[in-house]
Amino acid sequence: MNFNLHIERLVLEGLPATGDQAGIIQRAVEAELARRLAEAGLPRLTGGALKNIFAGQIQLTAQPGPAQTGRQIAGALHAVLTSKPVAARPFGNQGGARR
């Protein structure tokens, strides 16, 4: 299975992170999500693009490092993407799927 993953914007409300930490979190999210998708794929995704995905809240352990935080975020995203059938909309559709 081949797929292209592009995260244009990742909004992390309430997460105190400096510029350096934000970059580490971003790279960890990308790496962990790519690893999970390579292992399990997205058997329920029908193709196209998703405009928005709401992954909900994560519970951080006491003083997590930015890499650990990124892995937890990736896990939450992966759980949403694989939890139930997702009908993706063609890229650029202003309606988009929101979770």
- Average pLDDT along the chain, 99 residues, taken 10 residues at a time: 72 80 89 87 66 78 84 89 57 40
Q: Which residues contact 33 (CB under 8 A, 6 or more apart)?
A: 5, 74, 77, 78
The pLDDT score that the predictor gives to residue 1 is 60
Q: If we measure between CA atoms, which residue out of 89, 83, 88 comes closest to residue 45?
A: 88
What angle separates helix 19-40 from helix 66-83, to the nearest 10 degrees?
A: 40
- Rounded Cα distance, 28 and 44, in Å: 24
Burial 56-91 (b: 16+ CB within 10 A, else e): eeeeeeeeeebbebbbbbbbbbbebbbeeebebbee
- Rounded Cα distance, 86 and 48, in Å: 10
Structure tokens at 85: 């059938």
The pLDDT score that the predictor gives to residue 2 is 66
The pLDDT score that the predictor gives to residue 60 is 76
Question: Domain limits of the chain?
Answer: 19-83
The pLDDT score that the predictor gives to residue 92 is 44
